[in-house]
Amino acid sequence: MKINVEEGLDKPFLADGRHEVEITNIDEGKSEYKGIPFIACRFENEDGFVNQRFYISPTGMPVLMELCQAAGVEAEAKKELDTNQLLGKKVSIQVGDYTYNDPETGSERTLKQASAFEALV
């Protein structure tokens, strides 16, 4: 069988560990379970990629603020943050597995996750 490899699908997931990456894409959406808005960033380098959701909620905002700080994007209280400012920014991330119970099925799921965002020096 022959399959078409679409642009952007020609890379594997990044291996576990620390990577220097660029934010190459940002999508918006709502969580499937509770309808919580999020942005999803694609972190990419020559070795691969990982996608990470940042939920726009009281528990999710500190993680997004950590990314903004690492990327050099200012975020201030009572001012809107244009997440498109993150596009093209380069940061250091930690990639690893995250396991959770799917609220719909109760079954365990494991995803690749980006965390521990740091500025490049």
pLDDT tens string, the chain, 121 residues long: the values are: 877 766 666 789 999 999 999 999 999 999 988 899 999 999 999 999 999 999 999 999 999 999 999 999 998 888 889 999 999 999 999 999 989 887 778 889 888 999 999 999 8
- Give domain status of residue 90, yes or no: yes
pLDDT given at position 119: 97
Question: How many domains does one find in the chain?
Answer: 1
d(CA 70, CA 36): 24
Q: Is residue 7 part of a domain?
A: no
In the prediction, which pLDDT does 8 show?
62
pLDDT of residue 105: 82
What is the reported pTM?
Answer: 0.86
Q: CATH number of the domain that 97 lies in?
A: 2.40.50
Tell me, yes or no, whether 5 lies in a domain.
Answer: no
pLDDT number for residue 109:
87
Residue 7's pLDDT is what? 67
Cβ atoms within 10 A of the Cβ of 68, count?
21
Query: Is 29:38 a contact under the CB 8 Å cutoff?
Result: yes
Tell me whether residue 57 is in a domain: yes
Of the chain, the end-to-end C-alpha distance in Å amounts to 46
- The answer to whether residue 4 is domain-embedded is no
Is residue 8 situated within a structural domain? no
Query: Dihedral of CA 83/86/91/95: which sign?
Result: positive
Please name the helix (run of DSSP H) or strand (run of DSSP E) that holds residue 12, with its range, or none: none
User: Distance between CA atoms of 26 and 75, rounded to whole angstroms?
Assistant: 17
- Is 25 among the domain residues? yes
For 112, the 3-state DSSP assignment is: strand
Residues 6+ apart with CB under 8 A from 27: 39, 40
pLDDT of residue 102: 78
State the pLDDT at residue 12.
Answer: 93
Expressed as residue numbers, the domain containing 36 is 17-119
